[in-house]
Structure 1
Amino acid sequence: MVIEKEGTFDIGGHSVYTKSWLPDGPIKAKLIFIHGFSDHMGRYYGFFPSLAARGIAVHGLDQRGWGRSVRKPSDRGLTGPTSQVLADMAAFITPHLPKAPTDPPVFVMGHSMGGGQVLTLACSPAYQDSLVRHVRGWLLESPFIGFSPEEQPSAIKVMVGRLAGKLLPQFQLKHVVLPEHLSRDPEVVKSIAEDELMHNTGTLEGLAGLLDRTAALAKGEVRPQPGGALRALWVGHGTHDKTTWFDASKKYFDECTGEVPDRQFRAYEGWYHQLHADGPQSEEFYRDVGDWILARCEADKPEAKL
């Protein structure tokens, strides 16, 4: 049995929606999850319940500007700059970090835009000692490290958007990601098109921050810090992803993650963007994530080190 709980979390006076999936039994690990662009925590189907059924508690939030954290139309996409995005994630993750050696280990995972955010946080010098060192492992699902060829905006559009963002940072702009590019499952595609919480609206400031984070990752300017604070990294990406680019993720993994002692890249041949909702085969993805987390929990047990 899996226990689902909804709530709110206050970040500097700003309240966001939260949801948790808890095991009906001992908690072996905690997973903090960060969703993607225009997404929300209610769209991950059997993924979170499958992890909770294996003893992995899942905690996530609808990020500022997205999902049920939007109270009025002017809130849509109002994420703030990258510094605010990182501070929000850190504020949510920190209370879950282990306070004693016997506490369950914590893992952090991000999907798509959330994957790029999580990777940026894990590589940020400002958070190495206070947060990154205390997270057992980091996982990225289809991370936004580069646009797929189908979604690549023109250089002129990017330049005009950046200039306009300096003048009108909270100006809202629609960026529609085609539902049929996200999943091969017709029922998922239909549900995305009908989901009123997926508003596809960003602010110029938020979109500029997203582009800047992605460019910095793609160029290798943001990478794991020397010293081993980022101990373990798992990356999963579908080879036929039409939203974020498989090649960019693989290039980043091959060229920029050498400081991570425990790392794994998993290519899902022929899969689309939402590995968690790409048809019946998504259960393979559920198992892969759960196995990777639990293997590190087992490796950390005192008897495993004898």
Structure 2
Amino acid sequence: MTSSSASVTIDTKWFQASDGTSIFTRTWIPSTEPKIVLCHLHGLGEHSGRYTPIFTQYAQHGIKSYSFDQRGFGETGRKSGTLGYNDGIKRVYADVDELLARVKSEHPELPIVLSGQSMGGGLALGYVVSKVTQSKPVDLAGIIAMSPFILLPKETAPDPFTYWGGRILAPIVPSLPIKKVLDIRSISRVESVRVDYLNDPLNHQYISVGTGNDILSNGDNLHKSGYQHLHIPLCMAHGEADIITSAPATKDFFEKAPSQTKVIKLIPDAVHELHNDLCREDVIDFYTKFMLGLAAN
């Protein structure tokens, strides 16, 4: 299915992963020849369709964007009936491999950037780190980590009983769902964004103990040693009032990462979804300039 506007055509289709799972994908195609390609991983509890506003703006600059509803989320989760469970982080990385292979086959001549928001930001960083530690090639022009899940802020971190309980249960019943109540004020200071989020039928507040354990373990690894394997161009952004993921952890990762080309934007008073917050235009311009700079090299 496709829909079009003056600057972008949105193509949606189902893709069959190598294990037979149906994955729902979206592609935002600019009206002009693309200069660079973006592959994006969405955050916890949401879906790829929420990025149409930002990817439409990217399209106006010749950036073609691909994304998919991860296992357990969006249309993919609805079809499988397993909300909040991603089949394990190795399977997520395999899905990313398959998406990138599709993109490379369609645009072998264009640079590719991997991006992710929140959970997706941590997974994007973890994906690159896993490739390097396995001595596998990283065929990416750069990476954008948007409010990435590296660590939880101290004020919202789980108590030790909950933390270790989840760690123990994860290998036994990884698909066991837990409903996590979201404070809607924590995603954006814009009231219309909050209302749209709550009214979106594809959003949900479930996470399985296995997925939660994977996210925490991946973040711990990024914080303790993973940063040393990040050599490709790096762009990071975080709101300093974010209570969902830790801005200080993002700053620490950025400072330690050995990337020769790296930029960061820390925004006072901004909350979790910078691309949907009061600083929206500023941060979208920041990401856009990073990608166009890579395209020009």
State the TM-score, normalizing by the size of structure 1: 0.89
Letter in 2 for 1:270: D
Change (3 A) 1:128 1:52: farther
Shift of 1:224: 4.2
Query: Do residues 142 (structure 1) and 147 (structure 2) align?
Result: yes
Shift of 1:177: 2.5
User: For 1:165 and 1:138, how far apart are their aligned partners in 2?
Assistant: 29
1:186-209 deviations in whole A, cap 9, x for unaligned?
A: 111112222221111122111111
Query: Do residues 39 (structure 1) and 46 (structure 2) align?
Result: yes
Aligned with residue 34 of structure 2, among 27, 30, 53: 27
Q: Contact 1:8–1:18 at 8 Å: present in 2 too?
A: yes
Cross-structure match for 1:273: 272
1:67-99 deviations in whole A, cap 9, x for unaligned?
A: 111235741112012211211112211222378
Write the mapping of 1:287-306 to structure 2, written as runs, cut at 5 A: 287-298=285-296, 300=297
Cross-structure match for 2:4: none
Aligned with residue 209 of structure 1, among 202, 211, 214: 214
Cross-structure match for 2:204: 199
Cross-structure match for 1:303: none
Identity level (%): 26
Cross-structure match for 2:122: 116
User: For 1:46 and 1:167, how far apart are their aligned partners in 2?
Assistant: 40
**SS of 2:292 mapped into structure 1:** helix
User: For 1:15 and 1:224, how far apart are their aligned partners in 2?
Assistant: 35
Query: Do residues 159 (structure 1) and 159 (structure 2) align?
Result: no
Aligned residues: 290
Write the mapping of 1:120-269 to structure 2, written as runs, cut at 5 A: 120-125=126-131, 131-132=137-138, 134-218=139-223, 220-225=224-229, 230-255=231-256, 257-258=257-258, 260-269=259-268
Letter in 1 for 2:235: W
Letter in 2 for 1:294: L
User: For 2:73 and 2:118, how far apart are their aligned partners in 1?
Assistant: 14
Q: Contact 1:168–1:204 at 8 Å: present in 2 too?
A: yes
Change (3 A) 1:282 1:128: farther
**SS of 1:71 mapped into structure 2:** helix
> How well do the aligned residues superpose, as a CA RMSD in angstroms?
2.0
User: For 2:107 and 2:13, how far apart are their aligned partners in 1?
Assistant: 25
Shift of 1:109: 0.4
Q: Contact 2:114–2:124 at 8 Å: present in 1 too?
A: yes
Unaligned runs of 5+ in 1: 301-306
Aligned with residue 14 of structure 1, among 18, 21, 31: 21
Change (3 A) 1:127 1:252: closer
Letter in 2 for 1:167: I
Unaligned runs of 5+ in 2: 1-6
Which range moves more in the overlay, 65-74 or 179-188?
65-74
Cross-structure match for 1:93: 100
